[in-house]
Amino acid sequence: MRIVVQDAPFDLGVESEAFAAGRHDMGAIVTFTGVVRDTADDLDVMEIEHYPGMTEKALTAIAEEAMQRWNLGDVLVIHRYGRLVPGDRIMMVATASPHRRDAFEAADFLMDYLKSRAPFWKKEHGKGGTDWVAAKDEDEDALSRW
């Protein structure tokens, strides 16, 4: 299990390859990568604030819960904070399991919890001004799936 919280960019290719490397007992590897999206071409900067100390604890707790609930060989969570621009990767999770269903469900679970239970807050700076991203009801509702 590896939990990383950093302002520096991470390399999706290198991380994916390293996560998958040398596992002969895990048949299924799932990764999810979140990218700063600029649909309306009006986002300049996505600023991500977090709660140092609690962030690492919350991510570790979520990853440990996933390891308990599914048959997983390994879990990776990387989440950035600071100032990002459209196209930047915000975060990634990866799961390794003997079976594809476990790998998929665990990654899905990690994302749902990370969205609403890890102390990150997004602020958008764009042509329309500056605003904190509001939490979505659907993200909170998604937790009831688990």
Partner 1 sequence: MMDILYFAWVRERIGLPKERVTTDAATVADLVAELSAREERYAMAFSDLSALRVAVDQELTDFNAPLAGVREVAFFPPMTGG
DSSP state letter for 62: H
Residue 11 binds: one of partner 1, a second copy, none (C-beta under 5 to 8 A by kind): a second copy
Is the Cβ of residue 46 or residue 63 nearer to a second copy in the bound state? 46
Does position 82 interact with partner 1 (CB under 8 A)? The reply is: no
Helix axis angle, 100-117 to 54-69, nearest 10°: 150
Stretch (H or E) spanning 75: strand 74-80
Structure tokens at 27: 């048949």
Q: Is the distance from CB of 115 to CB of 58 less than 8 angstroms?
A: no
Q: Which of 26, 30, 72, 79 binds partner 1 (CB under 8 A)?
A: 79
Q: Rank residues 28 and 67 by Cβ distance to partner 1 and give the closer one.
A: 28
85 binds partner 1 (CB under 8 A): no
Using the minimum distance from each CB to partner 1, give the nearer residue, 10 or 51.
51
